[in-house]
């Protein structure tokens, strides 16, 4: 990258305080700034670095008040964090787009691949697949029969989409993710064995969804496993058959959601959370890491924590006593001894 401060400011609709002609060629943390680098400041914890950074320019909020003189050029914007994120997205896309279809790969004659899309080497594209405009499919992906991929999607190396799955526009699937694998469906038989239940449904991923590396989303037994618009899934998540995740919900790594559970809109779920099957979680619920959900969460906006989910405040009050259990047990023993003596 190589831009002037003025060009960056124009892109972010910001105001320059200092030299707008300085050339910038890299992005850095404010505490690690160097000549010709651009940093940003949004967290007050790092305010002190603004006065000693060696970065040539720093993006800051419009309402930031300087306490001392500075040597760096400033780009004042409405929201420094959001502006820096916008800049990162812009730079990420520079030169990212690859043209055409690399060889060797297999694309079935009935598949429809838009001329502006990219298919990387060693990728398999099955029968009747439909791939939209400006899609990027990197090396060693598998696209099963009848899959539909909307415009502007990205599939990173090694992503697997089983047959009949639907990926709507502007979605991103990271390396190693598996979409549409069989649900964990088995029925006990009279021989004390387990017979496999056919999984005939699919996975439907709505628009602007992002799915992290090595996450698995199982196909429905019948119907669809649904990941709604704007959902963000971290790496290493397990989503079982017939689950539905509501719009704009975010889920951190190593969480598992068992079959047929319904997660509401705008929920925040921490890492290593376990949610049992056939449950409903209301909208705007927040679940702390390592929490277990074994019953419906019916109240919107609830905040939960604990191996078996408590209301957050109840859990925190109880935890004070959990930590003191050895002392409390000792006190009870002493009281019992005193009572026996009497």
Residue 222 or 311, more confident: 222
Which sequence spans correspond to the domains of the chain? 3-93, 159-308
Query: What DSSP string describes 231-295?
Result: -EE-SS-EE-TT-EE-TT-EE-TT-EE-TT-EE-TT-EE-TT-EE-TT-EE-TT-EE-TT-EE-S
pLDDT of 142 higher than 80:
yes
113-133 pLDDT per residue, tens: 999 999 999 999 999 999 999
52-80 pLDDT per residue, tens: 999 999 999 999 999 999 999 999 999 99
The whole model's pTM is what?
A: 0.82
Statement: 3-93 belongs to CATH 3.40.1390.10: yes
Tell how strand 274-275 and strand 286-287 pair up: unpaired
pLDDT of 95 higher than 70:
no
Percentage above 90 pLDDT, the chain? 84
Of 36, 174, 241, 278, the catalytic one is 241
Q: Residue 68 in contact with residue 4, Cβ under 8 Å?
A: no
Q: Residue 187 in contact with residue 195, Cβ under 8 Å?
A: yes
pLDDT at 316: 79
Tell how strand 216-218 and strand 238-239 pair up: parallel
Percentage above 70 pLDDT, the chain? 99
**Whole-number average pLDDT of the chain:** 94
Is residue 85 helix, strand or coil? helix
Q: Residue 118 in contact with residue 135, Cβ under 8 Å?
A: yes
241 is known as an active-site residue: yes
pLDDT at 96: 66
pLDDT at 139: 96
pLDDT of 342 higher than 70:
no
Backbone φ and ψ for 30, nearest 5 degrees, come out as: -65, -35
Q: Residue 35 in contact with residue 56, Cβ under 8 Å?
A: yes
Tell how strand 286-287 and strand 268-269 pair up: parallel
Statement: 159-308 belongs to CATH 3.30.160.40: no
Q: Residue 208 in contact with residue 284, Cβ under 8 Å?
A: no
pLDDT at 310: 67
241-277 pLDDT per residue, tens: 999 999 999 999 999 999 999 999 999 999 999 999 9
């Amino acid at each position: 990258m190589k831009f002037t401060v003025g060009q960056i400011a124009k892109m972010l609709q910001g105001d320059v305080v200092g030299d707008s002609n300085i050339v910038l060629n890299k992005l850095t943390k404010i505490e690690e700034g160097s000549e010709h680098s651009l940093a940003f400041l949004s967290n007050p914890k790092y305010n002190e670095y603004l006065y000693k950074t060696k970065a040539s320019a720093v993006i800051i909020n419009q309402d930031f008040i300087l306490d001392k003189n500075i040597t760096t050029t400033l780009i004042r914007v409405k929201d420094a964090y959001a502006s820096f994120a916008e800049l990162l997205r812009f730079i990420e896309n520079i030169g990212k787009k690859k043209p055409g279809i690399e060889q060797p790969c297999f694309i079935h004659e009935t598949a429809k691949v838009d001329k502006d899309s990219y298919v990387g080497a060693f990728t398999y594209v099955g029968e009747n697949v439909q791939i939209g405009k400006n899609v990027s499919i990197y090396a060693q992906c598998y696209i099963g029969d009848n899959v539909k991929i909307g415009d502007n999607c990205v599939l990173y190396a090694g992503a697997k989409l089983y047959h009949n799955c639907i990926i709507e526009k502007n979605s991103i699937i990271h390396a190693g993710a598996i979409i549409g694998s069989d649900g964990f469906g088995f029925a006990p038989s009279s021989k004390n064995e387990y017979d496999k239940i056919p999984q005939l449904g699919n996975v439907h991923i709505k628009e602007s969804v992002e799915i992290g590396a090595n996450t698995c989303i199982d196909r429905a037994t019948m119907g669809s496993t649904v990941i709604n618009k704007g959902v963000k899934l971290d790496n290493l998540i397990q989503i079982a058959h017939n689950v539905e995740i509501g719009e704009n919900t975010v889920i951190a790594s190593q969480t598992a959601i068992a079959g047929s559970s319904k997660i509401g809109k705008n929920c925040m779920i921490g890492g290593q959370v376990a949610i049992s099957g056939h449950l409903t979680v209301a909208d705007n619920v927040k679940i702390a890491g390592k929490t277990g959900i074994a019953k419906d969460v019916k109240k919107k906006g609830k905040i939960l924590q604990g191996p078996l989910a408590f209301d957050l405040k109840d859990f925190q009050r109880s935890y004070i006593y959990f930590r003191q259990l050895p002392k409390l047990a000792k006190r009870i023993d002493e009281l019992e001894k005193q009572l026996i003596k009497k």
